[in-house]
């Protein structure tokens, strides 16, 4: 008998499985051929402690030490720069205050990112406390912890049926029996809940498109900060000598293997390009991922009030990797009955009981 059967092999499922694997036998089932195929494999991979709503920021702070130090650390310095046009003063002030960023002069901004256009950029602010996350190593280390604790991580197992008698019976090519079921299926979590005959939580998958560009003007972009347009209307991030640019859209679509919307991508590239001296001459590749949000925009963690053996690890939105250490620990604490380290107010903002279903 499996103690914790986890549906979903992304960062939500693997981090939860690693924590729970010290308390019982864990099995992770991933529908795709590889772990982290959907949202986890298409992440911007940035840790910025102040990014997100209050409960997300609380998780960021609680898990920051893990990301900085565990297994030699998963973070490397990147920095974040907020960039605003000359007519965006009010929105710039709001964004820079929310992200605890320090304003710098346009000249200082251009010294960091030489393609910024001094005739268009009116405002800039920076945070040095922004870091690239080694997302692949983090995923693999969580999976390794599960296996080390005699658990199993299996791909190519799509769940097609769920029923419960005295325990859960899950069909995914074959039948699996488990005392507890952890729903970490990303954009598909509500579908899993329906299969389990439990009410969904109202998850909305939202598409985010991405383009990879050659290094603009032949510059060495490796030391550039990630750039964020005011109102989060675009962002650009160095990646392996190239530049990733996203329109930062959050368009709701059904759960699927998402693809970039060409029109939305073009509009986002135009917003980015408007503040640069280098035009976009070529797009090398494009893709999209789904970020899944609960109705109130924050994570859903812990046992379902209708059946405490059905456990949610859902609604990670765009915060999955940066919240994973603390979110998975909170989930584990709630499941095994350990007092959470997180304060009661934030716990209440994260557990399924807050949702009216």
What pLDDT digit, counting tens, does each position of 169-182 carry? 999 999 999 999 99
As a whole number of angstroms, the distance between CA 241 and CA 214 comes to 8
Q: What is the pLDDT of residue 39?
A: 64
Domains of the chain: 2-70+134-202+295-354 (3.50.50.60), 80-127+204-293 (3.30.9.10)
Cα→Cα distances 223→79, 228, 286, Å: 9, 16, 23
Integer Cα distance of 72 and 80 in angstroms: 23
Q: Which long-range contacts (CB under 8 A, 24 or more apart) does 162-171 make?
A: 162/192, 162/195, 162/196, 162/197, 163/197, 164/196, 164/197, 164/307, 164/309, 167/1, 168/5, 168/196, 168/309, 168/310, 170/5, 170/7, 170/29
Instruction: List average pLDDT for each run of 10 residues in the chain, which is 357 residues long.
Output: 97 98 98 80 83 96 97 96 96 94 97 97 96 96 97 96 96 96 97 98 96 95 97 95 95 93 96 96 94 96 97 96 97 97 96 92
Contact between 29 and 172 under an 8 Å Cβ cutoff? The reply is yes
Name residues whose C-beta falls within 8 Å of residue 346's C-beta, 6 or more positions apart in sequence.
54, 55, 58, 59
Pair 101, 125: CB distance under 8 Å: yes
Rounded distance between C-alpha atoms, residue 174 and residue 170, angstroms: 8
Q: What is the reported pLDDT for 67?
A: 97
Residues 182/23, Cβ–Cβ less than 8 Å: no
- Asked whether 11 and 36 are in contact (CB, 8 A), the reply is yes
Phi first, then psi, for residue 35 (nearest 5°) are -70, 150
Whole-number Å distance between alpha carbons of 174 and 161: 10
Residue 293 phi/psi, 5° resolution?
-120, 135
Beta bridge mates, 237: 244
Question: Left (φ > 0), alpha (ψ -120 to 50) or beta: where does 249 sit?
Answer: beta
Q: How confident is the model at residue 40, as a pLDDT?
A: 63
Neighbours of 162 (CB within 10 A): 23
> Any residues with CB less than 8 A from the CB of 106 and at least 6 apart, and which?
116, 118, 121, 122, 123, 124
Contacts with 145 (C-beta within 8 Å, 6 or more apart), sequence order:
18, 21
């Amino acid at each position: 008998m499996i103690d914790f059967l986890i549906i979903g092999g992304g960062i939500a499922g693997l981090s939860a499985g690693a924590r729970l694997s010290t308390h019982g036998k864990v099995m992770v089932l991933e529908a795709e051929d590889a772990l982290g195929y959907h949202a986890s494999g298409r992440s911007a991979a940035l840790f910025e402690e102040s990014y997100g709503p209050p409960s997300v920021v609380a998780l960021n702070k609680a898990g920051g030490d893990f990301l900085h130090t565990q297994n030699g650390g998963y973070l490397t310095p990147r920095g974040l720069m907020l960039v605003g046009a000359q007519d965006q003063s009010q929105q710039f002030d709001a964004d820079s205050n929310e992200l605890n960023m320090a304003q710098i002069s346009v000249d200082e901004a251009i010294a960091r990112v030489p393609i910024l256009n001094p005739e268009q950029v009116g405002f800039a602010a920076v945070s040095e406390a922004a870091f690239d996350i080694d997302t692949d190593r983090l995923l693999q280390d969580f999976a390794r912890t599960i296996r080390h604790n005699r658990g199993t991580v299996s791909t190519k197992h799509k769940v097609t049926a769920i029923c419960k008698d005295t325990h859960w019976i899950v069909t995914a090519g074959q039948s699996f029996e488990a005392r507890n079921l952890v729903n970490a299926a990303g954009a598909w979590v509500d579908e899993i809940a329906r299969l389990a005959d439990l009410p969904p939580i109202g998850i909305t998958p939202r598409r985010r498109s991405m383009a990879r560009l050659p290094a603009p003007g032949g510059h060495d972009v490796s030391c550039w900060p990630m750039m964020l347009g005011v109102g989060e209307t675009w962002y650009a991030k160095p990646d392996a000598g190239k530049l990733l640019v996203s329109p930062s859209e959050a368009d709701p679509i059904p759960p699927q293997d998402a693809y970039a919307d060409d029109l939305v991508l073009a509009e986002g590239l135009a917003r980015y390009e408007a503040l640069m001296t280098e035009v976009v001459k070529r797009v090398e590749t494009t893709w999209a991922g789904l970020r899944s949000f609960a109705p109130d925009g924050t994570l859903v963690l812990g046992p379902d009030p209708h059946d405490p053996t059905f456990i949610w690890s859902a609604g990670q939105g765009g915060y999955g990797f940066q919240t994973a250490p603390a979110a998975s620990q909170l989930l584990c604490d709630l499941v095994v009955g350990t007092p959470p380290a997180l304060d009661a107010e934030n716990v209440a903002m994260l557990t399924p009981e807050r949702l009216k279903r």
